[in-house]
Amino acid sequence: MISHTPGYIYLRKEKLLYAFEKFIRLDVLDLKIIELFISSNPRNISSIAEKLGVSQQTVSYRIKRLDRLGVLDCRAEINYEKLGLEAYTLLVKGSLSEQNYIEAIITPLPLWRYLITLDGYMGHVFLVEYVLPPNGVEDLKMYFNWLLDRNEIESFYLYKTTEFFSTNINWDYYIKLAEKDKDKKDILDRFDWNQWLESIQPSNKRFNFKDNISFTMRDLLFLSFLDIDARMKLKDIARKISDILGINSDIRPWLSKRLRFYILNEVISGYRSFLRPVNPKLGLPILLYITFSTPEYLKGFLLSLSKLPYASVYSILDDYLGMFVILYFPSMAFDKFRECLMILSSKGIVRKTHFFIGSWNRIWKNVLVYKAYDGKNWLSDKDTFIEAYYRIKEDYKKHPDKYEPKGVSI
């Protein structure tokens, strides 16, 4: 269900529709398996069986069936800040008629992680998230100012943030609904928005996104493959890494040990499924920029997102007073959500909100960060950005169709 362009992953509307049609036919056990599959380790079937109180054979059979349905694609969420990199989010204003070209020139090096094209109060906007080595932001600023001077973009705003991470969907909502209504009719009409609003309370929860863990090119390759498919067999990953690096020995023991290390140290912060229980014909991805009166209320709001029956991803500003949230909403839920924000604003909890509308076919995730690393240093200086820009510009003139969103094997 996940389409690939070279180095990028994006979700296509027709695939999301296919997944939604399969989703509404899932039974209670299917939903419970998917919940544990995403919230714990998707490789540990025995643990899932134990938690559900069913046999491992039953879980294995169900997983194979869900695989055949195409609803169990799963990617590891990689936190590159744990490797000492720093995350920055940019809002770039540019021309709608040149969106393919602008998307390319604002992501010339594979240090970007997330890209979504939007429309809102600023006009046509591109949100792009970068992970950079320490002090690398100055080169990024110089490059975007250089683009500005050449009139390639209209303006840009830079924010120090965390990376984008996904929240858990409120699977209990769907499980309880399936227990009462096997057809799951009007599955989103029954959500209790008042109860959700009351759940937003100030929190002192501590989030630890950063570290300075040492790594090698082998680590970056391993993380890249897990970012593509968290369930890829270690023997297949070992073969791919060995082919790229010219390794002759068996690295599977190293992979197994390193995988445990990534999970323990939250380099893998969780898992994300492409499955979104929203009919893409009836909704759109919405970007919300929101600020709060205190960091405690921001944290409370963040924790409440996992109580919604929708998928979302978020990035927190460095001061913990603001955040970006991308919500995959049905249109009928937007009014309810907006009313909740109005109430939070009237109470002085929320200070500012800005909404942007996205498109299902213009959301990308870069999974080839390792290509910006030469084994010793990150290739992130201004001159390298500009060299990549000229290559893209020349290639775009010759092959503009190449930059249209297409499903190409990675």
- pLDDT tens digit sequence for 48-74: 999 999 999 999 999 988 888 878 888
Query: Looking at residue 83, what is its pLDDT?
Result: 97
- Please indicate, yes or no, if residue 194 is contained in any of the structural domains: no
Verify that 92 and 36 share a domain, yes or no: no
Inside any domain, residue 92? yes
> Quick one: 106 and 69 in the same domain?
no
Residue 155 falls inside a structural domain: yes
Mean pLDDT value of segment 265-282:
84
- Domain contains 396: yes
Whole-number pLDDT of residue 408? 32
Give me the phi and psi of 374, to 5 degrees please: -100, 10
Query: Residue 346 and residue 215: Cα distance in Å, rounded?
Result: 47
- Which of 75, 104, 129 represents a domain boundary (last residue)? 75
Residue, of 372 and 275, whose pLDDT is higher: 372
Which residues constitute the domain of residue 225?
217-264
Per-residue confidence band for 374, with pLDDT thresholds at 50, 70 and 90: very high
The answer, yes or no, to whether residue 4 has pLDDT greater than 70, is no
Q: What is the mean pLDDT of residues 29-55?
A: 88
Place of tokens 């709060």: 292
Backbone angles phi, psi at 378, to 5 degrees: -85, 135
Half-sphere exposure of 48 (CA within 13 A, CB side): 25
pLDDT in tens, 282-331: 888 999 999 999 999 999 999 999 999 988 999 999 999 999 999 988 88
Domain for residue 186, yes or no?
Answer: no
- Write down which residue in 23, 46, 75 finishes a domain: 75
First to last CA, the chain: 14
- Least Cα distance to 136 among 205, 179, 86 occurs for 86
Q: How many residues does the chain have?
A: 410
Same domain as 111, residue 93: yes
3-state secondary structure of 125: strand
Residue 94 and residue 145 share a domain:
yes
What does the pLDDT average to over 215-226?
96
Are both 18 and 55 inside the same structural domain?
yes
As for how many domains the chain has, the answer is: 3
Question: What mean pLDDT value characterizes the chain?
Answer: 89
More confident residue, 385 or 9: 385
212 occurs within a structural domain = no
Distances (CA, A) of 256 to 105, 237, 251, 342: 38, 11, 9, 48
Candidate from 102-111, 176-185, 335-344 with smallest mean pLDDT: 176-185
CATH for 376: 3.30.70.920
Q: Is 90 exposed, middle or buried (0-12, 13-18, 19+ CB in 10 A)?
A: buried
Return the residue matching tokens 């296919």. 18
Q: Which one, of 242, 237, 228, lies nearest residue 256 by Cα? A: 237
Last residue of a domain, one of 75, 108, 133: 75
Residue 80 tokens, joined: 């590159």
Please indicate, yes or no, if residue 111 is contained in any of the structural domains. yes
Specify the residue for token string 């309370």. 201
* Domain CATH code at residue 60: 1.10.10
Q: Tell me the pLDDT band of 355, cut-offs 50, 70 and 90.
A: very high
The predicted model gives 268-288 an average pLDDT of 84
203 located within any domain: no
Q: Among positive and negative, which fits the CA dihedral 394, 145, 99, 135?
A: positive
For residues 137-158, give the mean pLDDT: 98
Same domain, 28 and 97: no
Identify the H or E element spanning 357. strand 350-366
